[in-house]
Structure 1
Amino acid sequence: MTNTNRKWLLAERPEGEPDMDSFELRETDVPSPAPGELLVRTRFLSVDPYMRGRMRDAESYAEPWDVGDALKGGVVGEVIESASAAYDVGDLVTGEGRWADYATLDADEVAPVDPTVADPEAYLGVLGMPGRTAYFGLLEVGEPKPGDTVVVSGAAGAVGSVVGQIATRNGCRVVGFAGSDEKTAWLTDDLGFDAAINYKATDDYRAALDSAAPDGVDVYFDNVGGPITDAVFTKLNLDARVAVCGQIAHYNDEEISTGPRKLPGLISVRARVEGLLVGDFATRFGEASERLAHWVASGELEHRETVVEGLTNAPDAFLGLFAGDNIGKQVVRVSAADE
């Protein structure tokens, strides 16, 4: 272990799409754990679209970062020093850390990582917050029934790819929107989606849905917003359920655009639209983690991580989310097991 800790700070609040001017890499001393804490060396760091909202000086469900703050995110790391009886040096844990080489984490707020179930980076994706979001968002908000048609936007991402597979397990017809032929092929050939639409190669989303979802849409899991959502809302069936998980198409907007008025269309079909925050299900995280781990270990649930190498490239990995660079979960490998 070195005595130097590199960490990324929020250098300025971005206007529109962030760029490298929003980030500053600074070197500090490696922190020491207080009683009940762990000093964790970051192995993998998660970058997620919701982090864009934390860069704004605006009230939201997640507390905004102040300029000069160290950026926070989910990590998988190795315990280097323990001031808690709950974990030993060498244990792998996951929790909210920093965009940094090292961080101190409260031992009560981390979970163990079992590399015999899946590679450690999977604990930031299918076995972490995105997997739990998919699990509760689809099953509790979407309430899929056998024979339903489920449409997923951002379907090749960390959340959407799990949503589609769980929907398939529940006997649904599953249609995914994704941004490349490689992604749509992954959805249909590997994950079992019944149809996939490359939105970047499609001019008419409504016509594409007519072909991919000829019986209409019973459940829509929305990670994107924008024109895709506008099209899906015109295809909602009677008693359809819409889970609004993300709106990445709008995260860099400086002004709120006015699109089609959707509310009148909900009246005739009596559709239900519900916002989704996975934290609302915190008391049931154990349930989701257990089932997801079982499905992954048995090979019933596939997953994929796009790994960017090196802490210095963490901002690039984050910015790549808005260009759709990732397939599955976007993570940064900060250090290797043998370092």
Structure 2
Amino acid sequence: MATAPSPADLPGTAREVRLTALPAGLPAREHFAVVETPLPAPAPDQVVVRNRHFLVFAALCSLIGGAEGLPLPALKAGDTLFGPAIGEVVAAPDGSALRPGDLVQHWLGWRDYAVVPAAGCTPLDGTLPDPVAHLAPGSAAYGALTRYANIRAGDTVLVTGAAGAVGSLAGQIARLLGAGRVIGSTGSPAKAERLVSELGYDAVVLRGADRPFAEQLAEAAPDGIDVVLDNVAGEQLVAALGAARQGARFALVGTLSGQLSQTRGGGAPVEIDAFQLILRGISLRGYTGADHPEVDGEWTARLGEWLRSGAIRLPYTAVAGLDNAPQAFEDLLGGKHFGTVVVEP
């Protein structure tokens, strides 16, 4: 039976990460502070959650300062950061379907304790063997590859930003869906080696290498590319369009080249030869999960099966301690991590 939250059983304060100043360029550790604040008493429709893990993600760059047209609220100086989190319910009101001890997913990460509307919590049912897997943003890659890319047996697939949270899963998903050759891009030789040795990529193109990106891509895909899962945009998208085969399908899920620029706007303008798109019948579509609400459940079920069978790996970095969260964010933006990054407060 659920129990009403008792003030005597709850911590009086919580710790959270706040944005202290709007940066002129990319956010860094000095633009954040970990502060202690009173934990508000939960309302009758709220639960108190002790966070176990929360996601560190690059899209916060676009929220800081407020790029236009974003589906999430902008962050201003003094605001507490937010994002996907997994936590344990420590108090729930009478009559709630949630009980103390339940693991739930919610959107009030970047703090150790959170008072969350019960309706904003999704209970974890054991479908995934590791709770952290609920925070890995593979749903976007899976949805884009199944709804827009329509991978066919033997296709050559390019995943840009392959060592990130989305890309580290996207290449594996493409292979499981029937891709014959999977190529990734990254800016680190060490990450390139891991993409091949650990995640099964056939070739990796290095951003910022001595040779032009387009030249490397032509060598990695001499017969052209059938499918692109693009996390980056910018010059990598242009190069991929140049290497596209007849009828190639492009699914765009991110714009890291814009999000990680000094402007932080998230925009990534590119010059595209529309004539070539027409001539080669190339499709170019942006994917958002909000347009495909059925994908999350489908992805979670398949990911659970793939994880248990060993068909897919979930690379992630766990950073211990809320005090280390600002540095984890700075390191993520600097390309120091491989796969998904989570903080264990």
TM-score by length of 2: 0.89
Measure the CA separation in 1 of the matches of 2:308 and 2:125.
11
Q: Aligned runs of 1:3-14 on 2, under 5 Å?
A: 3-14=12-23
Cα distance 1:41–1:14, how it changes in 2: closer, same or farther (>3 A)?
same
Query: Any stretches of 5+ residues in structure 1 without a counterpart?
Result: 335-339
Measure the CA separation in 2 of the matches of 1:257 and 1:333.
32
Measure the CA separation in 1 of the matches of 2:191 and 2:144.
22
1:247 alignment partner in structure 2: 255
2:234 alignment partner in structure 1: 226
The match for 1:42 among 47, 51, 55 is 51
Q: Secondary structure at the match of 2:178?
A: coil
Deviations 1:137-183 (A, max 9, x none): 11112221112111001111111121111111122111011222332
Cα distance 1:284–1:121, how it changes in 2: closer, same or farther (>3 A)?
closer
Measure the CA separation in 2 of the matches of 1:181 and 1:167.
22
Q: 1:266 aligned to 2:277?
A: yes
The match for 2:150 among 140, 143, 146 is 143
2:115 alignment partner in structure 1: 104
Measure the CA separation in 2 of the matches of 1:68 and 1:147.
51
The match for 1:53 among 44, 58, 62 is 62
Structure 1 residue 239: Cα displacement: 1.5
> Residues 44 and 333 of structure 1 are in contact (CA less than 8 Å); yes or no, is this contact kept in structure 2?
yes
Structure 1 residue 5: Cα displacement: 0.8
Structure 1 residue 20: Cα displacement: 3.0
Cα distance 1:114–1:23, how it changes in 2: closer, same or farther (>3 A)?
same
1:337 alignment partner in structure 2: none
> Residues 31 and 103 of structure 1 are in contact (CA less than 8 Å); yes or no, is this contact kept in structure 2?
no
Counterpart amino acid of 2:238? Answer: D
**Pairwise CA RMSD of aligned residues?**
2.1
Q: Aligned runs of 1:175-214 on 2, under 5 Å?
A: 175-214=183-222
> Residues 9 and 69 of structure 1 are in contact (CA less than 8 Å); yes or no, is this contact kept in structure 2?
yes
Measure the CA separation in 1 of the matches of 2:39 and 2:99.
19
Cα distance 1:150–1:257, how it changes in 2: closer, same or farther (>3 A)?
closer
Structure 1 stretches of 4+ moved >6 Å: 255-258
1:166 alignment partner in structure 2: 173
Structure 1 residue 300: Cα displacement: 1.1
Structure 1 residue 258: Cα displacement: 6.3
The match for 1:317 among 323, 328, 331 is 328
Counterpart amino acid of 1:174? Answer: V
Query: Any stretches of 5+ residues in structure 2 without a counterpart?
Result: 1-9
Measure the CA separation in 2 of the matches of 1:215 and 1:110.
47
Measure the CA separation in 2 of the matches of 1:319 and 1:263.
37
Counterpart amino acid of 2:251? Answer: A
Cα distance 1:14–1:263, how it changes in 2: closer, same or farther (>3 A)?
farther
Measure the CA separation in 1 of the matches of 2:322 and 2:31.
16
Q: 1:308 aligned to 2:319?
A: yes
The match for 1:67 among 71, 74, 77 is 77
